[in-house]
Structure 1
Amino acid sequence: MSERAAFINQVTTAVPSQDVHKAFLAWAEQRLPDERQRSVFRRMAERSGINHRWSVLPTTAGGGSPVADGGLYADAPPPTSERMRIYAETAPELALAAIAKLDAGAIARTTHLVVASCTGFVAPGVDQIIARRLGLANHVERTLIGFMGCYAAIAALRTAYHIVRSEPAARVLVVTVELSTLHLQFTDDMEALLGMLQFGDGAAAAIVSADATGLRIDRPFAIAMEDSETLIQWAIGETGFVMQLSGEVPGRIGSALEKPWIRERILDAVDAGKIDSWAVHAGGRSILDAVQRGFDLPANALDRSREVLADFGNMSSSTLMFVLAAILRQSDEGERSGVALAFGPGLAAEGFRYERAA
C-alpha cells in the first residue's frame, strides 16, 4: 500500500432508545383531511421499507411518544429556540455514545477531529464539546461540517482522507450526529408528511488513519446535478428546520446515472457489475431503487443499505456511516472493492471508491 493511503479503520454507531415510527404514522395520518388521502398515506408508508426510527426526545410521564399528551409535539409546534436547546443537550451525548464503542487507544491518539451535523447549531460547537468531554489535547485540530445534509458523511471522511494523505502520522476521529426528529412540522401536506416519515436520529464515529486496516478510501468524487437546486431544500424556520423534498428526486437520480460522464466519475471506468460492494446512503426506498436500476445492480447489491433504512430510517449524514459499519462488521473475502455514494441538497452526489485492506 502507498504511504499516502488513508483507511477507515473502524466505524461504530449509536441510536437513542425510543422508537417513534409507529407513533408518527398514526399522528401523520390523523392530520390528513380525508379518508382517500389517509389510505394513500398508509399504502406509501407500508412501501417505505422503514420499520423503526429512533428519537432523542424523552417519553412522556406515561411512557408516550413526543406526539402524545405531555410530549414535545402534543399541542403546538415548539419554536426553533426550544429545539436547539434540546440539540445542545442531546447531540453531544448521542455522539459520545457512538465514540465510546471505538477502541479507546485509538481515541487517545486522536490528532484531528472532524464532526458533521446539519440538524442543529450550538456554540461552542459540538466538536468542542466532544473534544472537552473526551479529554482530547487542546491542540487537536477540529473541523465542523454543518448544514450539508445527507452527503456530509462523505465530506467528513473526505476531509479525513486529505488530512491523512498530507500528514501520514495523523489519526482522525470522524463523527456524524443528526437529530432529525427535532424538526417535526405541523402540516396536512401529504408530500411533506411522507418526507418526514423517513427521518430518525443517529450518530456514528470512525477512525481514519494510515494504518492499513479496514477500508482504503480512494478517488473521492463530487457531482452537482444541473437544474436541480429546488429538489431538496433545508431552511431554518420559526418552528425548526423545514425540509422540502421533491418527489422528483428518485427520477432525477435515475436519469443522472444514465449519463456517461456521471457514470465515469462514480465508477472510474470500471463496469458496475464488477464492483463487489455498495455503500449507498439509505435516503429512502425509491432512491435505493433508482440507484439499483441506474447501475443495473443485482437484487441483493444494496441489501445493507435497505437493512439500515428498515432498522433506523434516514438519519441524514449518519446513515452512510451505518452502512459502512455493516460492511466492516460483515467481512466478506469476496468483497474487495466498493463504492460509497450519497445524495443531498443541490441536488448533488458525493462519494468515493474503497478497497478492503489486505
Structure 2
Amino acid sequence: GKIQRMCEKSMITKRYMHLTEEILEENPDICAYMRPSLDARQDMVVVEVPKLGKEAAVRAIKEWGQPKSRITHLVFCTTSGVDMPGADYRLTRLLGLKPSVNRLMLYQQGCFAGGTVLRVAKDLAENNAGARVLVVCSEITAVTFRGPSETHLDSLVGQALFGDGAAAIIVGADPDPALERPLFELLSASQTILPDSEGAIDGHLREVGLTFHLLKDVPGIISKNIQKSLMEAFKPLGIHDWNSIFWIAHPGGPAILDQVEAKLGL
C-alpha cells in the first residue's frame, strides 16, 4: 500500500528499466532489502550502462551532423556501477571514436550529474581551441533496486522516482556556421553546497549494492536556498525576473517543484 501511494504521488506515469521479472527471478538477492548482491548488479551495469549511453550518443552525433572523428573529448558520467577501464573506454570502443580522444570518467554524481558534466564540458571547450566534447550520462537502476523495509521507508522514495535513462550532447566553444547549428548557448554553470544540507541525500556502495538515503526535508532545504543561488547565477547576466526565463528544473520529485514554484512565485 505504501509503495503504491508513493508511486501515485510521484506523478510519474511511465518508467523504463533494464530489470525484468526474469532477471529478478534469477537473482532473488537483488529483491531483498539487504542481501549481498553487488556482483550480480555489477555484471549487469558495467555492460548495460555504456550500451545505453551509446544509444543517446549516436542520436546526439547524428543531430550534430559532423563526423565522429571531430570529437576531441569524451565526458562520461554514471552513478550506476564502477569499473576499470570505465564506461568511457567501453563507449569509445562501441562508437568507434579515435583512440586519442581525451576521456574523463565521472562517478557517483547522483542528482547533479547533468549540471556537473555541462560545467566540465564548458570549461574543456572554452580552453581547448576547436574542441568538440561529447557528453554522456547513463544510469541503470539495477545498482540501487531493492525490496522494501518497514524501518527504512526513505529507500522506497528512490524506488518510486528513479528509472533507467541516458542523455548525450556535443559541446563546443567556436561553432562553424557553415557546418554546425548550435541549439543552446551555455552562459553559466556552477554549483554550491547549501547550509545545513549535510546528510540530506547520500548513497553508499556496499555488498548489497548502492544504498540511497533521503531526508524528508530535501524540498525544504532546496526552496530555502533557491533564491540566493539563482541571484548568484543570474545577477551577472542581468536577469532578475524568474518568470522571464524558461525553466527546466531537475526535480527529484514533485514536492521540490511545488516548493520552488511557490518560493519564486512562478
Answer whether TM exceeds 0.5 for this pair: yes
* 1:158-169 alignment runs, 5 A limit: 158-169=119-130
Whole-angstrom distance in 1 between the partners of 2:48 and 2:111:
20
Aligned to 2:153: 190
Whole-angstrom distance in 2 between the partners of 1:95 and 1:257:
31
Give the aligned length: 251
2:96 to 130, 135, 159: 135
**1:118-152: CA deviation from partner (whole Å, max 9, x where unpaired):** 12111111001111222211111011111121112
* 1:344-355 alignment runs, 5 A limit: none
The one-letter amino acid of 1:262's match is: S
Q: C-alpha displacement at 1:43, in angstroms?
A: 3.3
2:188 to 216, 219, 242: 219
Whole-angstrom distance in 2 between the partners of 1:284 and 1:274:
21
The one-letter amino acid of 2:38's match is: T
Contact 1:48 1:284 in 2 (8 A): yes
Aligned to 1:4: none
Q: C-alpha displacement at 1:59, in angstroms?
A: 4.5
Aligned to 1:170: 131
1:108 to 42, 57, 69: 69
* 1:226-245 alignment runs, 5 A limit: 226-245=195-214
Aligned to 1:271: 240
Aligned to 1:88: 46
Which structure: greater strand fraction?
1
Q: C-alpha displacement at 1:111, in angstroms?
A: 0.4
Aligned to 2:12: 50
Contact 2:27 2:40 in 1 (8 A): no
Gaps of 5+ in 2: 176-180
Equivalent residue of 1:277, what SS?
coil
Equivalent residue of 2:11, what SS?
coil
Which structure: greater helix fraction?
2
Whole-angstrom distance in 2 between the partners of 1:154 and 1:242:
22
* 1:249-268 alignment runs, 5 A limit: 249-258=218-227, 261-268=228-235
Aligned to 2:249: 280
**Residue 156, structure 1, aligned to residue 117, structure 2:** yes
Aligned to 1:206: 169
Aligned to 1:329: none
Whole-angstrom distance in 2 between the partners of 1:141 and 1:192:
37
Q: Work out the percentage of aligned pairs sharing the same amino acid.
A: 29
Whole-angstrom distance in 1 between the partners of 2:208 and 2:242:
46
Contact 1:234 1:243 in 2 (8 A): yes
Whole-angstrom distance in 2 between the partners of 1:220 and 1:204:
18
- Give the aligned CA root-mean-square deviation in angstroms: 2.1
Equivalent residue of 2:192, what SS?
strand
Contact 1:181 1:200 in 2 (8 A): no
* 1:22-41 alignment runs, 5 A limit: 38=1, 41=3
Q: C-alpha displacement at 1:105, in angstroms?
A: 2.6
Aligned to 1:98: 56
Equivalent residue of 2:125, what SS?
helix
Contact 1:254 1:291 in 2 (8 A): yes
Equivalent residue of 2:210, what SS?
strand
Q: 1:247 to 1:108 in 2, by over 3 A?
A: same
Gaps of 5+ in 1: 1-37, 61-65, 298-358
**Residue 295, structure 1, aligned to residue 254, structure 2:** no
Whole-angstrom distance in 1 between the partners of 2:69 and 2:53:
16
Q: 1:49 to 1:110 in 2, by over 3 A?
A: same
Q: 1:216 to 1:75 in 2, by over 3 A?
A: closer
Q: 1:93 to 1:41 in 2, by over 3 A?
A: closer
Q: 1:194 to 1:295 in 2, by over 3 A?
A: same
Aligned to 2:178: none
Aligned to 1:310: none
Whole-angstrom distance in 2 between the partners of 1:145 and 1:207:
17
Q: 1:74 to 1:289 in 2, by over 3 A?
A: same
Q: C-alpha displacement at 1:93, in angstroms?
A: 0.9
Normalised TM-score (structure 1): 0.65
Whole-angstrom distance in 2 between the partners of 1:251 and 1:230:
14
Aligned to 2:87: 126
Whole-angstrom distance in 1 between the partners of 2:232 and 2:31:
49
Whole-angstrom distance in 2 between the partners of 1:280 and 1:263:
12
